[in-house]
A and B are shown apart, each in its own frame.
Chain A
């Protein structure tokens, strides 16, 4: 089944404790992206990647890092999480028609 898989789905952590949210897609898509969703603000793009070893900042990259060592994986790294990074995070990959395929989301709480 074609899908985008994120882990963990839910995480509660404390300020400053490094964490990684993994994202994997099995559709051989070149483009992948991370978004955060906050009430009243909709979806905001954090980082995106056009292909392996190519990453670019989105609209809200501060406090986040990404890597794209393989086509299928695009992890999101929070080196020193802060409470303002409490949010719902979505990973997506893009199909040939431009449509995005989203993961189920990762709800992160930073205390």
Chain B
């Protein structure tokens, strides 16, 4: 089955860019998602990209997809303390049942 890997921690300074990386194993994955989990809350969809796209930009967020390497990244420009959260990468194919990575804890310090 699908396996999704991401690093567990990332620490950045406020105002810098953050880049969270994710790799997946199933080349037939069609939908790739980024979810954000703030402390004490459930996950919320942040953004997503279809496998026929290379890049998607939404305000401060940029998602890059390298389908050949099965690598997904999320870039947050001008990172703020409010961006501190756990970010989950998820991949799904035709069944629409996503497989989640373990989550990357983003810590933003002044």
Q: A: which residues have CB within 8 A of B?
A: 4, 31, 33, 35, 40-43, 45, 48, 90, 92, 94, 97-105
Interface of chain A, main secondary structure: strand
Q: B: which residues have CB within 8 A of A?
A: 8, 31, 33, 35, 40-45, 48, 88, 90, 92, 96-98, 100-103
**CB–CB B44/A102 < 8 A:** yes
**CB–CB B102/A41 < 8 A:** yes
Q: What are 14 A-B contacts with C-beta separation under 8 Å?
A: A31-B96, A35-B100, A40-B102, A41-B102, A42-B100, A97-B48, A98-B31, A98-B92, A100-B35, A100-B98, A102-B43, A104-B42, A105-B41, A105-B42
Q: Which residue of A lies closest to B1 (CB)?
A: A59
Given A98-B31, A99-B33: A42 in contact with B88 (beta carbons within 8 A): yes
Kindly provide the distance from the CB of B109 to the nearest chain A CB, expressed in whole angstroms: 21
**CB–CB B41/A104 < 8 A:** yes
Residue numbers in A under 8 Å from B92 (CB-CB): 98
Residue numbers in B under 8 Å from A31 (CB-CB): 96
